[in-house]
Structure 1
């Protein structure tokens, strides 16, 4: 078969799916959206394929291949290259670890396959991590998930790229890892996972639930979940902020990510440093704004800072000051 680095068109019927692809499933909603786009404008990015005995096999572009089938394309643009099996697995893994729509257990299965099939090339998790470009502890967590009960494996999902939420009925990779690490009985692991998959639960609350379930192995999981859900939200602060809150200098806090549903106007939340809470706060207002719109008044409400001082504190906590970053700003008053 002719191998070419140039883009050429191949009949879709001559191309086969990647038999080494690590995916357990593909988000059908996104696949349908991609297929609709391909119907309108065609496949803009070529597939990378390799020659096989009965035609060609997809190496890179599995989703685009499936969407092209769904869009009933007859021909698609491709680049043909020679790859060995281990090169295909490695290439797929490197491509997929950078994608948000691949779950930790799917990545773990690929890592496991690489280490089992090619022990000389990947003798340790550290070696594999260096090759892929991730921390070895991440490889360890992914591999750990492959040992979880099958029911839990199928519940693990990546966050949605736009909303940053976990799909309904699923749990995050980090949640699954914590369950496996803290709770030893498989039946109880499954029970906790099912409870946490019922509705979106804040990460801090998830950690508390898992901790309590592990601490009280004979207590019903539902009872623990309900008790924790009914507690006031604990809003964590740095130790240096405690005095500023207690003397009412700090009446505003800005956070990244998505606001917890328990944090709403009129709600009473606990101000906490580590576990114990040191003050009750009433939420007065919540707004969402970019960091570049913060002014001296914002900085003052954050704890009596000047704007430059607040920027330095923010960098200490978050690593950098990204002016285009959206944050949610909680205005509060201390209950006396």
Structure 2
């Protein structure tokens, strides 16, 4: 496993290479992939070797370092021209997670000031992005945990933990902090089809920290809420609009509707780098559609008849009126709307 300090981490920079914990093999195998080029980073993002909006952004930042490393070695005076193709590959790797573009733009702000070897300056910025995310996760964990009552019973969807971030996690950061404070009585995790991030990643990650977890089939959440066995749904986000609409792993919208029907609170936990103030409404978010094979097969084994078709959106959008709170490193937005989201971004 890879650790950043005492926190599980999906990626590190070592010996001029990006090292990724290959999340496609978890929980049964812990394989490290070593990437030497920006094209390899882009492919790893596309193939979900690394996933989760913050982790994708961090990986992309290190991808810029690799691109600059190669371009400067080829032709030092022209590295910024050469690097353009790699930047485009990184930007196109996955369209929904806003952290990807945010990280690339932040790295590019240094280009105009670099007069010699770009690698030291860009590597320092990538490290800053990584460390800032880790610090933000700890802060969000504290803010979110403060909102939970004693003996709280929570449900989470997908994986918004250390594996999806620079370490510690967003939604799971809140769960970790609440567990350490003795505030949780039960944690449920949806299996999260078709990639099974809840079953493969969230359950595994929580057990690494000795946090008991009960796994649910995705379609069992409604019955659990009907039995009044959930107090809060806590999820992460891949993009949040200016008015507080939330794009997250497919199935989140359904959970939000169920939560509102049953009087269960919905908490979205995400750093401000996930907030896209250039988009007003969730309908404007580009939703990634992935291969039909992810639905029609499991581990390469067909589970549907030959000729069956599948629709496989990776995300859905939960409108802001179904969100009770958005927790960021800058503070908590209750009942999000444009005015409140603007205020938190300016703070």
What's the TM-score, normalizing by structure 2?
0.26
Larger radius of gyration: 1
What's the TM-score, normalizing by structure 1?
0.26
Q: Structure with the greater relative contact order (CA < 8 A, sep ≥ 6): 1 or 2?
A: 2
